[in-house]
Amino acid sequence: MTVCWLATATYEEVAALDRARAVAVVPLGATEAHGPHLPLSTDGIIVEAMARAGAERLSAQGATVVVVPTVALTPAPFANAFPGTLSIRPETLVALLEDVADGLAAQGFTRLALISAHLDPTHLGAVREAVETIRTDGLRVAFPDLTRKACASRLGEEFQSGACHAGRFETSIVLAERPELVREVRASLAPNPNSLSVAIRAGQATFAEAGGPRAYFGWPADATAEEGRLFIDTLGAILEEAALPLLHDD
């Protein structure tokens, strides 16, 4: 019945936790272009909202949840051409996640949930690779992949269409969480229905190739904070459902 944000906890507070039965949540964001209206930290804002909403749900079920500091650097090759985007090699992310898991295990954690608001295929491939290695090493791991149909179908038509980078879905969540970071130009942005999912299947590898010369897709002008709060609640439910099996001893 505890939610602990590791970055703001003291070591004595962490020592007092039942770490063997706690769920450690590792949020994965990015530092990449999100149109002319959203900050480079958008994915981090979204995934931290998901972590909070999911942790509150799990805590209400009697779980102890420890939220690890957000990983803000990751592969982001689709946005590489845009100033401010910082992309690392996929093998670097794999090694980092494996090291984080090893560090948590050394401190007595046995249950881990990775969550990601960054959906670049190179990033997701690295996360999946790390998850398999971490499981082999003995930790129990959940990874609710938002690109899978079971999750995507709950996040609105725009998300399902694949035209959802810095669009209505992401802009709504930032409006709900950090409205002061949403630039006024948002209201004048024309819809961009080009689908990143279709572009990826066609072998396109950058936002420009996919039809997003300003690094946004979807309908950002239609975003609302009210819808953002609904999306956050759904993301929290997705995390809760993925992590609940970790609470049961085999």
CATH class of 2-247: alpha beta
Tell me the pLDDT tens digit for each residue of 32-43. 999 999 999 999
Taking CA atoms, 218 is separated from 106, 116, 132, 154, 192, in Å, by: 43, 20, 33, 17, 5
Domain boundaries, the chain: 2-247
Q: What is the pTM of this model?
A: 0.97
Q: How many CB atoms lie within 10 A of CB 233?
A: 15
Residue position matching structure tokens 């609904």? 230
Q: pLDDT tens string for the chain (250 positions)?
A: 699 999 999 999 999 999 999 999 999 999 999 999 999 999 999 999 999 999 999 999 999 999 999 999 999 999 999 999 999 999 999 999 999 999 999 999 999 999 999 999 999 999 999 999 999 888 999 999 999 999 999 999 999 999 999 999 999 999 999 999 999 999 999 999 999 999 999 999 999 999 999 999 999 999 999 999 999 999 999 999 999 999 987 5
Residue type, 150: A
